[in-house]
Amino acid sequence: MRNIKLVLAYDGTDFAGFQVQPGKRTVQGELTAALAKILGEEVKVIGAGRTDAGVHARAQVVNFATAAPIPTGRLSAALNSCLPPDLTVWQAEEVPADFHARYAAQGKTYRYLIHQAPQPSPFLRRYSWHLPRPLDVTAMQAAAAQLIGEHDFSSFCAAGGAAKTRVRTLRRLTLGGEGGLLLVEAAADGFLYKMVRNLVGTLVEVGRGAFTPDDVQRILAGRDRSLAGPTAPPQGLILWEVDYGRGRGPETPGGVALTPPWACVKITL
């Protein structure tokens, strides 16, 4: 059996999430169906992470075992000819038998886009959280700095998560941007269920003045989801990178770094 690794990009707007769900359109379901058509056999697709409904991915990683002899150099194009336009396979490669997209991952990076402007933009509505009033970004940055490190993130974990422990190491939580676009980047050894969206929702409450930067210490210590801010909506979130210890993120076969649809958009307040 061969072990094949794929790197995917998708617009999550019209998917009910990554994981297969009966009667619903999912990334895993669409990919599994396309693989069956190309390979002539049913395979089990393992994902690095289970993105929620409406969440996007720049570089989701999956792997599967197959006996099919198709060269990996042809697999991406073959799959893309069968896949819908909101799901693309960027890379395909044969990897060692012990590679597991989820368990081999050493960390993940997510990015979340906030659009601050009096009126929403139709061009950003699928990829950002629109907020009509400006936020205190300096206060948000001060709050974010206090969340870095190893903590029990129970206050930022939504009900329904099945993690054995809620201790995670948040390696990076940064905010920056211009022209009305505020980008939040979070990198960790792993994330709890809806953790990034709950972190963003809490930082936005700091930016609005509902919390102070120092309140995040109280929220962390409380280990109670009700203490933190609301869950940010899904459309602003993108799985940016899965870290397998190689020091760089995936690229397209042509060598051009993958970028989300809003990367070249500049909005002036």
Give catalytic residues, as residue numbers. 52
CA–CA distances in Å: residue 16 to residues 4, 96, 112, 209, 249: 25, 31, 19, 33, 26
CA–CA distances in Å: residue 110 to residues 29, 85, 121, 150, 158: 23, 22, 22, 18, 17
Q: CA-CA distance, 132 to 15, in Å (whole number)?
A: 27
132 conformational bin, left if phi > 0, alpha if psi -120 to 50, beta if neither: alpha
DSSP secondary structure of 111-134: EEEEEESSS--TTTTTT-EEESS-
3-state SS, residue 251: strand
Please report where in the chains the tokens 């058509």 appear, as a residue. Answer: 37
Q: CA-CA distance, 162 to 253, in Å (whole number)?
A: 36
223 and 245 Cβ atoms separated by less than 8 Å: no
3-state SS, residue 58: strand
Rounded to 5°, the CA angle 50-177-201 comes to 45
